[in-house]
Structure 1
C-alpha cells in the first residue's frame, strides 16, 4: 500500500524546483542537503518516475515533475488556507477569503464594494492584497488565493472568469494645459508630449507601448512611477501628461489639481474580471464574495458625476 504524500516532502520538492539546487533549497528550509536529497530520492522511488533533471547547472523538473509541482502548490496552498480559516473560526470569524487585486482595481471600486459586503457579513474576514496581474493569475491557479480581480487583458487560461467593472482611460494634464478644455483626444496626439509612465512593465505600460509602436512612435517618458496617485501628483506639478483611468484620477480632478480629457480610442474602455478556480473548489464564503462582487458590474455613476464617462 502506497503511503500518502506528506506536506514536508512536497514543500522540499517545491523549494528544489524554485531554487534549482538542493543546497540552496536545503538552506532555505533549514535542513542539511543530504536530508533533502534522501527525501526526493524516496519520493521518486515511491512514484516510480523521475521528477527532476540533474545537470551541471542545477536541477529542473521533468514533465512529471512539472505536474507534481503544480499540484503540490495547490495542495499546500489549500492546507494553509484551511489552517487560517479554522483558526479564525475559533475567534468567531465565520469564514476567510483571500482576494488579490491589481493596482487599478484597488484605486477604483473594489474597496467600496468590499466595504458594503463586509457591512452585511461581519463574520467573514477578507484579506485583500495588491499584486500585478501575472502574480494574481499564478496565485489563483495554485490555490494561494481564492479570488483575483484584474484587467481581462492578462492570460486567464484555465481559470473561471466573471465580468466585474469597467473603467475608461483618459489623458490627465495640468489644469492650465492648452488641451484642458477639449472634449477628447486621440492617443497619437499625446505622443508629441512628455508623459509620465505608470507601473513600468505592467499591462497598461505594455498596451501603450504597443499602440505607440503601431503608429511608428515611442512614448517620451520623463518620469516613471509605480502608483496612480503618484502619477496624478506629478501631472499636477506640470511635469508631463499621463494616460490614466478616469475612475481612479477623478478625486484629483475634483480637487482642482488636474484636468481629465477623454481618450478617443477603441481600446480606452477596459473590462475587469473576477477570476477563480472552479467554484466547486471554493469555500462557501469565497463563493458569496464572488457572487456579490459580480453583481456590482452593471452599476453606473449618475450623469454629471465626475466619474461618469459620458
Structure 2
C-alpha cells in the first residue's frame, strides 16, 4: 500500500479537530491539500473513514476503529526516530563535566576509559574544581553535570549520592599509629595534623561533625588540596585526615590509612544536575557509566 505518514497525520488531525479547516490550520496546509491526503488514504484502504458535509466531518465506524491504530503508528514512528537520533547523538559531540579533584583523579579516569571505548567520537572536557566551583559550573550551565559533595549545593542544583567515603587518618608506615587497627579522634591530641583550608568542602564537613561534640583539632598545617596534605605526610611533617577516596586503592609505598571513630565522619560524593535541565544523550550515557562504576565498586 502506498500509504504515507502525511496521510495518517491528516486523518488524525481532522478526526481530533472534527473539521477540515481547524486541521488544516494545525498542519499549516490548505484545504485542498488536506482533502487530497484524506482521499488518497481512503482510496488506498478501500474504505471511507470520514463522512464529510459542508458543515461537519464525522468518523465512520471504520474510521473510529482505525483512529487509535493510526495514532499508534505515528507514535511508534516518532519514538523510533527519537531513538535513532539519540543513539547518533551519543556517538558524537562534546560532554563538559565539572568534578572535584579527588573524584577526577581516582575514579573518573576508569569511567572515561570505558566511555571512550563505547563512544570514541565523543569528546569530554573535564573541569577539576573545588566543591563550590563544581556547583557553580552546573548552576550556570558551564558544565552539563558535576561530580561533587553533598552540602555544596544551590537551589537550582540537585544532588544524587553515588558513594559515601569515611574520613580516615593517613600516616607514614613507620609511624606508631600504623600498627593500630582503628583510632579515635581523642588519640590525635598533641599530634601535628595536616588539614585543608576553611574554604574546602571537606573542612566544612569535619567542622560540622566535630565542633558540636567539643572536638577541635589543631591543624598545624593547612593546604588547599588533599594531594598537598598527603605530600606533607609523606615528607614526615604530620598526619592528615582525608576521605578514603583520596588515597590510592593499591598499597602505597609510604602511606597507610586507619579508620577514625568517636565519631566516624563520612563524605557523600555524587552527581550534581541543574534543576529543570536535561543532560544531552552523550552526557546521560556517561552518567549511566559513572553510576554503574560506583555501584560495582
With the length of structure 2 as denominator, give the TM-score of the two structures: 0.63
Q: Hey, what's the Cα distance between the residues in 1 that align with 2:129 and 2:268?
A: 18
Q: Secondary structure at the match of 2:177?
A: coil
Q: Hey, what's the Cα distance between the residues in 2 that align with 1:211 and 1:277?
A: 28
Q: Hey, what's the Cα distance between the residues in 1 that align with 2:195 and 2:116?
A: 35
Report the alpha carbon displacement of residue 204 of structure 1 after superposing the two structures with TM.
Answer: 0.9
Q: Hey, what's the Cα distance between the residues in 1 that align with 2:95 and 2:276?
A: 13
Q: Secondary structure at the match of 1:163?
A: strand
Q: Hey, what's the Cα distance between the residues in 2 that align with 1:267 and 1:157?
A: 29
The answer on whether the counterparts of 2:233 and 2:239 sit within 8 Å (CA) in structure 1 is yes
Q: Hey, what's the Cα distance between the residues in 2 that align with 1:158 and 1:240?
A: 40
Q: Hey, what's the Cα distance between the residues in 2 that align with 1:160 and 1:203?
A: 17
Task: Select which of 131, 136, 139 maps to 1:138.
Answer: 136
Q: Hey, what's the Cα distance between the residues in 1 that align with 2:190 and 2:111?
A: 38
Match of 2:231 in 1: 233
Report the alpha carbon displacement of residue 284 of structure 1 after superposing the two structures with TM.
Answer: 1.6
CA separation of 1:299/1:166 partners in 2, compared to 1, >3 Å: closer, same or farther? Answer: farther
Residues 1:293 and 2:261 aligned together:
no
Report the alpha carbon displacement of residue 171 of structure 1 after superposing the two structures with TM.
Answer: 0.3
Match of 1:178 in 2: 176
How many pairs align?
Answer: 208
Written as runs of structure 1 = structure 2, the 5 A alignment for 1:81-160 is 94-160=92-158
The answer on whether the counterparts of 1:107 and 1:228 sit within 8 Å (CA) in structure 2 is no
CA separation of 1:99/1:250 partners in 2, compared to 1, >3 Å: closer, same or farther? Answer: same
Match of 1:308 in 2: none
Unaligned 5+ residue runs, structure 2?
Answer: 1-88
Residues 1:282 and 2:279 aligned together:
yes
Q: Hey, what's the Cα distance between the residues in 1 that align with 2:262 and 2:112?
A: 31
Q: Hey, what's the Cα distance between the residues in 2 that align with 1:278 and 1:219?
A: 37
Report the alpha carbon displacement of residue 125 of structure 1 after superposing the two structures with TM.
Answer: 0.8
Residues 1:163 and 2:191 aligned together:
no
Q: Hey, what's the Cα distance between the residues in 2 that align with 1:199 and 1:107?
A: 20
> Residue by residue, what CA displacement relative to the aligned partner does 1:91-145 show, whole Å, maximum 9, x if unpaired?
xx81111100112212321222122112221111110011112221122112111
With the length of structure 1 as denominator, give the TM-score of the two structures: 0.60
Q: Hey, what's the Cα distance between the residues in 2 that align with 1:210 and 1:233?
A: 26
